Structure formats: structure tokens, C-alpha cells
Amino acid sequence: MGGATARERKGSVGALAVLTIAGVLLGAALSLQAYREAQHPLPPVSSDILYFRGGAAVSRAALGFDALLADVYWIRAIQHFGGTKRASGGEKRYELLYPLLDLTTTLDPHFSVAYRFGAIFLSEPYPGGPGRTDLAIALLERGIAADPKRWQYAQDAGFVHYWWRQDYKSAAEWFDRASRIEGAPWWLRSMAATTLAEGGDRQSSRRLWQQLLDTTDDIWVRDNARLRLAQLKALDDLDALASLVGRYAQARGAPPRSWNELVAARWLAGIPADPSGSPYELRPDAPGGVALSDRSPLLPLPPQLTKQTGPTT
């Protein structure tokens, strides 16, 4: 009994010794690796690696795992877009964005978010995106070919024409096309008519985005609609503040140097902030003397709507 216990104890000690040796060896190997990497740095991994170009060939080689591969490429597309957008300094190159979206949708032709949000990514003007509305429309057209009953793609194509191209005739045609697809909501038809009649004033833009916000279940499409509505609100605020600053300058003989002057004079209740919470800034070089903060996530504002054409709220 005592002998067995001694043997067990000896065995435990032996195991502990082996474990210690393994730990020491592993630690030494890792230290050596760290030293080697300090002496001979690893080559940088290019984030622009595409892996494959032919979507159809990849789809065949995926052996039934094409949907999962599409997810991988979708995540790559998001990372490429977000990484490039956030990169500081230098020219922003979004050249892999469309090929990645193309691969994603070839591997999984029913990946609706890849079409819808891919179009949003592609339309975003430089430097926030590549500003390729032509590719956005092409992507959405591929979505319609894969899934002709998805009226949302036609609606999104209308939005691309409306918001980024200011081509209200084409936008109205796309909204009309969307309205004719089975299951499309009734208001798409009136949207087509409004777009054609009123073009791109802020009120009709607000109606369009609000309609999209109220009716979509897609988180990202909703977030995008919220951003556009916030931008429209900021444009109205900027107009109102510019008018206030102008009146103050007329009354006092000089424009205010800070918002505190307006607050102290009870012209404002507090420091005005945009819908994202970033304070507006007084800038003599900006139109109307008021601008969004450079840190505001609402930038860039849509240039076609910076001049007020509708009633101010």
C-alpha cells in the first residue's frame, strides 16, 4: 500500500517534471520566435489580397460550401470598406470592393444584404466610399436578375439615382418599376410620382427616407435611412443658425465670435448641436458662417441639398 503510494507520488512528480520541461521548451521557442521576428520582421500582409477572381469557378469548387464562402467574402467586403474608410492619410483605394461584392453574390445569389448594403457602400462618395453609383446600380440589377420578386432592389436603385445622381427621372422610373413587382407596397407608386414632380427638395427627400425607415426590417438599411434623415435635419439646422447669426450681426454690428455670446444674449438656449450630438461651429469661411464639426459623423452632407429649396423646419 505504502509502496503503491510512493510509486504514485513518483509518477506524479515525473508527470510534473515532463510538464515543466514542456512549458520551458515552449516558452523558449516562443521567446526565440519573438527574437527572430525582431531581427527579421515578418513581411506585411496585404489587406488587398482577393484570393480568387472568378466567382463562378469558386462557386463550383466550393463543394456545397458556397454560402459559407459567401459569408467570408461578405465579411471581407465589410472589412475592406470600413478599413479603407477609416484609414488615415494617403489616397483611399476601394478597388477591391466591387470584386468582393461580386464574389459574394456569385457564391450566394440570394444574399440580399450584400446587394442592398453593397450598393450603399459603392455609392458613398469619395473619400467615404468609392462613389461608383454605376457599379451600385449594376450590383442591384444582378440582384433583380437573381430574385426578380425583390422589389427592394429596384427601390434601392431608385434611391441611388435620387440621392447620389440627382437623376430624378431615372429614380422615378425605378420606383415605378419597383411598384409593379408583386408584393410591393402601395406608396412606391406615389413615391415615383412625387419624385418626378418635386425633384430633390428636402421635404420630398425627408418623406422618402422616412418611408424607407418605417418600412424596412433590415438593420443596416434602417441605420442608413436614419443617417440621411439626420443629415437633412442638420441642413435645416444650419440654415436656421445661419439666419440667426446674420440677424445677430445686423443687430450688433459684428458676427458672434462664439455661441456663448448668443446664449448670453438669450438668442439661444444653449450650445447648438447636430442630431449626432456634435456641436455646430461658427466659421467665418463657411456658407452662412456656420458649419458642422469636422468630427461629426454626419459628414459629408449631400451637396445637392445644401441650398434650401423647401420650407425650413
Partner 1 sequence: MGRVIGLVAYHVFKESVRDKVLYNLVLFAVLMIGASYLIGQLTAGQDVKIIKDLGLAASSVFGLFIAVFIGVGLVWKEVDRRSVYNLLVKPLRRHEFIFGKFLGLALTLFVNIAVMAAALYAVLALMNWMNPGLGRAAIEAPVLDPQLLKAFALLYVQLLVVTSVALFFSTFSGPMLSAAFTFGLYIVGHFNADLAHFESVVKSAAAAWLGKALYYALPNLAPFDVKAAVVHGQPVSAAYVGLTAGYGLLYAGAMVALAILVFSRRDFK
Q: Toward partner 1, which CB reaches closer, 104 or 204?
A: 104
- Whether the CB-CB separation of 126 and 91 falls below 8 Å is answered with no
Q: State in angstroms the smallest separation of the CB of 297 from partner 1.
A: 16
Q: State in angstroms the smallest separation of the CB of 184 from partner 1.
A: 15
Largest CA distance in the chain: 104
Which residues, numbered 111-140, are part of the site for partner 1 (CB under 8 A)?
111-113
Please give the grid coordinates belonging to residue 40: 527579421
**Residue 108 engages partner 1 in binding (rule: CB under 8 A):** yes
Stretch that binds partner 1, among 65-73, 186-194, 228-236, 252-260 (CB under 8 A): 65-73
- Whether the CB-CB separation of 223 and 299 falls below 8 Å is answered with no
Phi, psi dihedral angles at 282 (to 5 degrees): -85, 120
Tell me the site size for partner 1, rule CB under 8 A.
22
Stretch that binds partner 1, among 10-18, 104-112, 153-161, 241-249 (CB under 8 A): 104-112
CA-only gyration radius of the chain, Å? 29
Q: Toward partner 1, which CB reaches closer, 152 or 231?
A: 152
Q: State in angstroms the smallest separation of the CB of 143 from partner 1.
A: 13
Stretch that binds partner 1, among 74-82, 85-93, 126-134, 258-266 (CB under 8 A): 74-82
Which residues, numbered 183-222, are part of the site for partner 1 (CB under 8 A)?
217-220
Q: Toward partner 1, which CB reaches closer, 119 or 241?
A: 119
The CB-based long-range contact list for 282-290 (8 Å cut-off, 24+ gap) reads 282/245, 282/255, 282/256, 282/257, 282/258, 284/255, 287/242, 288/238, 288/239, 288/241, 288/242, 288/243, 288/245, 288/246, 289/242, 289/245, 289/246, 289/255, 290/238, 290/241, 290/242, 290/245
Nearest to 177 by CA among 205, 206, 148, 135: 148
Q: State in angstroms the smallest separation of the CB of 96 from partner 1.
A: 17
**Residue 68 engages partner 1 in binding (rule: CB under 8 A):** yes
Q: State in angstroms the smallest separation of the CB of 171 from partner 1.
A: 24
Is residue 229 within a helix (H) or strand (E), and if so which, with residue range?
helix 219-252
In whole angstroms, give the CA distance from residue 220 to residue 143. 17
Beta-bridged to residue 279, according to DSSP, are 273
Stretch that binds partner 1, among 63-71, 89-97, 191-199, 282-290 (CB under 8 A): 63-71
Which residues, numbered 255-274, are part of the site for partner 1 (CB under 8 A)?
none
Q: Which residue has the cell 453574390?
A: 105
Stretch that binds partner 1, among 71-79, 119-127, 260-268, 281-289 (CB under 8 A): 71-79
Among 78, 268, 299, 301, indicate the residue that binds partner 1 (CB under 8 A): 78
Instruction: Say how many C-beta atoms besides its own lie within 10 A of residue 15's C-beta.
Output: 10
Among 9, 93, 110, 295, indicate the residue that binds partner 1 (CB under 8 A): 110
Instruction: Enumerate binding residues for partner 1 (CB under 8 A).
Output: 60, 63-68, 70-71, 74-75, 78-79, 108, 110-113, 217-220
